[in-house]
């Protein structure tokens, strides 16, 4: 059964005839007549008795007309809901984020997004597990990968790169002023992870040359914020995400050591299901995050 046939039948009954329906809707009378005839054939009942001058709606036709009106109201309501969904930035967003990245994200940026769009409700789910966006009903997910394996069912938008840099308190940095990459291991070092016996940093300079710094850290922790605080306290040189220590660098509590050398932590992506039919709320969120990425991570795009 064709909804257009039902709609045409309802228009003919509502306006009292094919000619009146043509004038009211702009639909040609012959087309309206064909649709009503097709509906009668599909239903197997006569809906309208016709003559050259008169038109009479049968009893079953009147009953079906009442149902058509209910269906039409439902269709109109459905179209109105879809129109609002296409135009309004509102509703709920479920976003997944790995904990390693979550430590670097500036929550005040998300707060500004919510202040900008007061009808949006944001749920940030922190998990080290790979989230199935469709199965678990997430709108988008942040991921950090050096070599991202792309799920063909998802759309991936690259936000930028996170780099780790060498930092130290000013007093330690002064000792490192004459230090080269080859002699860096001679300074006290701090590590993120469980490397109290031995650690290695694979660093690269602006010319693409790589160097491995093998060192024996005097302090390590699996929490980067703890290592950052140890660096601020003057315990040694740390290799930290530029995002994790951006505030301390701006305040002068940490200094960038050997600034030509760094290591890539990974490329930050936001993943979502599809561009076609995307809600304006999710589109606004992705656009806002992409625009705000430098402040979101505390530093510029690499």
In a domain, 58, yes or no: yes
Return the CATH number at 274: 3.40.190.10
Are 218 and 198 a contacting pair, CB within 8 Å? no
One domain, residues 80 and 34: yes
One domain, residues 175 and 246: yes
One domain, residues 178 and 256: yes
Q: End of a domain among 33, 57, 86?
A: 86
One domain, residues 134 and 281: yes
The CB-based long-range contact list for 193-199 (8 Å cut-off, 24+ gap) reads 193/220, 193/222, 194/220, 194/222, 195/220, 196/220
Return the CATH number at 225: 3.40.190.290
One domain, residues 176 and 212: yes
In a domain, 300, yes or no: no
In a domain, 175, yes or no: yes
Return the CATH number at 47: 1.10.10.10
**Range(s) of the domain holding residue 117:** 91-159+269-295
16 vs 12: CA distance, rounded Å: 6
pTM over 0.85: no
In a domain, 218, yes or no: yes
142 vs 140: CA distance, rounded Å: 7
In this prediction, residue 301 carries a pLDDT of: 38
Helix axes 3-15, 29-43, angle to 10 degrees: 120
One domain, residues 104 and 59: no
Please list the pLDDT of the chain residue by residue as tens digits (302 residues): 788 888 888 888 888 888 888 998 888 989 999 999 998 998 899 989 887 677 888 999 899 888 888 887 787 777 777 666 566 788 899 999 887 677 667 677 788 889 989 999 999 998 878 888 888 999 999 987 644 455 667 788 888 877 889 999 999 998 877 788 988 888 999 998 776 688 899 999 988 899 999 999 999 988 888 999 999 999 999 999 887 788 899 899 999 999 999 887 678 888 888 666 688 899 999 999 888 877 655 544 33
24 vs 198: CA distance, rounded Å: 84
In a domain, 302, yes or no: no
In a domain, 7, yes or no: yes
In a domain, 125, yes or no: yes
In this prediction, residue 158 carries a pLDDT of: 86
One domain, residues 76 and 95: no
Task: Report how many domains make up the chain.
Answer: 3
């Amino acid at each position: 059964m064709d909804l257009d046939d039902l709609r045409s039948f309802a228009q003919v009954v509502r306006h009292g005839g094919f000619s009146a329906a043509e004038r009211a809707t702009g639909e040609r009378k012959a087309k309206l007549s064909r649709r009503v005839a097709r509906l009668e054939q599909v239903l197997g009942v006569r809906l309208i008795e016709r003559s050259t001058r008169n038109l009479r709606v049968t009893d079953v036709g009147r009953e079906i007309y009442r149902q058509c009106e209910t269906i039409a109201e439902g269709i109109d309501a459905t179209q109105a809901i879809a129109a609002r969904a296409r135009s309004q930035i509102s509703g709920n967003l479920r976003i997944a984020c790995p904990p390693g990245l979550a430590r670097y994200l500036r929550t005040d940026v998300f707060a500004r997004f919510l202040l900008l769009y007061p009808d949006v409700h944001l749920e940030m789910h922190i998990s080290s597990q790979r989230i199935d966006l469709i199965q678990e009903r997430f709108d988008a997910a942040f991921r950090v990968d050096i070599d991202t394996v792309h799920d063909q069912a998802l759309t991936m938008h690259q936000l930028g790169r996170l780099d780790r840099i060498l930092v130290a308190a000013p007093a330690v940095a002064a000792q490192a002023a004459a230090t080269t990459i080859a002699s860096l291991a001679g300074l006290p070092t701090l590590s993120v992870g469980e490397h109290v016996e031995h650690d290695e940093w694979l660093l690269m300079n602006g010319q693409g040359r790589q160097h491995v710094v093998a060192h024996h850290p005097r302090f390590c922790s699996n929490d980067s914020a703890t290592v950052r605080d140890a660096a601020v306290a003057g315990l040694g040189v740390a290799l930290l995400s530029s995002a994790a220590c951006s505030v301390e660098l701006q305040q002068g509590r940490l200094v960038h050591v050997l600034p030509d050398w760094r290591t890539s932590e990974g490329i930050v992506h936001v993943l979502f299901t599809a561009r076609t039919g995307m809600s304006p709320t999710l589109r606004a969120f992705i656009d806002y995050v992409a625009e705000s990425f430098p402040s979101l991570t505390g530093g510029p795009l690499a």
